[in-house]
Structures are given as structure tokens and as C-alpha cells.
Amino acid sequence: MINKTIAFLVRSTALVVICPLAFFADDRQLERLQYNNPGLVVDLGVGLWAWPLPMDFDQDGDHDLVVVCPDKPFNGTYFFENTGGDLALPVFEPPVRISKGNHNVQVSYVDGEPRVLSPGIEHTEFYQQGIDTGKALGLSNNDIYTAKGNIRAKQWKYVDYDGDGALDIVTGFGDWTDYGWDDAYNGKGEWTNGPLRGLVFWVRNLGTTEKPRY
């Protein structure tokens, strides 16, 4: 009886191991699940954590939309072309992927032109390479702000904050140290953690726009 039980357990374990391997052996069998209204057709959409960058990406005189998405399976930077030319009610084409995606990508407008930043990096070839390439700014998030806990948002933008003619950097940080996570309610529905803190810092440029000294 014991031998039969052992043999049964061995066969069962083998099935548990083999079945997942067979399931993942060919990823062409995987099918993306539909969601929301399955009959709805929407061109303007990406995945989770979308960072919109409105700009005239194709430089034809109207506003397009570039959206950076860091999630899976939609990771990428996508160009939605405004083909109608209408600034108030634009009609966008389906997206074209132009590069990888990432968190915290921001657009600043300097003399009417978009300048795209990630923390510590300017993507100087954005029209050609998206965010696949970039120029280091000589600063990091830790040079500006550190926290004991989790920091989520880390947004960098160019602005001449003090009006001296040289571009400074303004950064925004979301500090979740005291907040923790969204599950901190007790049985009475009372919040037991601290607040979610947002902080904005001015990084002054003591040099020039061409040769910054932050």
C-alpha cells in the first residue's frame, strides 16, 4: 500500500512539473485578454503609468501626442499623429512605437521647443531616438532629495525660475515614506498611516544655459 501511494505521488509531481513547461514552451499560444467594451475601437491608448508629452512631433504645425509607457507588455514611447490639424478637437492616428519606455519622462518648452528630460538626463535626440539615448546633466535624484522610505514620482523640468536668463531645473518628488501603501485602513475604515508628501525643489543654475553649473 505504501509503495502504491509513493508511486502515485511521483506521477502526480511529474504532471505538475511537466504541465507548466508544456504550457510555456510556445508563447505563440498565449492570447492577450480583452477588457472594457470588446466592441470599442480606440486608437489613443497605451498601458499603465502613461506619461503624456504633447508636442508637434512630426513638425507639421499641429499638436501631436507622444506617450511614454513603462509597463508590460506595452513598454515603449509612442507617437500619435494628429492628422486632422485641428488643435481644439484633434483626431489621432494609431500609435507608432519610437523607442523604449520609462518612468518619470517629462517635457519642458524652451523658446517654444520641447525639451525632454528623465531624472538626470536630457534626451537631446528625442525626435530621432526617443528616450533610447540621452545626455547626462551631472545631477542625480539623490543629489537633490533622499528619503527613508519609498520615492515614486521623480519629475524633472527646465525653467528659468529666477529669471536670470539661464535655464534652471525644477524637480518634483512623491515621498511615500509615511504613507506606506493603500492598504493601511483598520477595521473601522480609519487611515492608520501618515500622509503622502509631494515636494518641489529648485535646482539653481549659476552658470549659463549652454554651460550650466547647478
pLDDT at 94: 87
* pLDDT tens for each residue of 166-207: 999 999 999 999 999 999 999 999 999 999 999 999 999 999
pLDDT at 91: 84
Q: How far apart are CA 122 and CA 130, in angstroms?
A: 11
pTM of the model: 0.79
Mean pLDDT of 89-105: 92
In sequence order, what are the residues at sequence separation of 6 or more whose Cβ sits closer than 8 angstroms to the Cβ of residue 184?
191, 192, 193
In sequence order, what are the residues at sequence separation of 6 or more whose Cβ sits closer than 8 angstroms to the Cβ of residue 68?
50, 51, 53, 76, 77, 78, 101, 102, 105, 131
Q: How far apart are CA 120 and CA 85, in angstroms?
A: 34
The 10 Å Cβ neighbour count of residue 29 is: 9
30 φ, ψ to 5°?
-75, 140
94 or 206: which leads in pLDDT: 206
19 φ, ψ to 5°?
-60, -50
Query: Is residue 30 pLDDT above 80, yes or no?
Result: no
Confidence of residue 10 (pLDDT cuts 50, 70, 90): very low
Write down the domain spans for the chain: 46-203
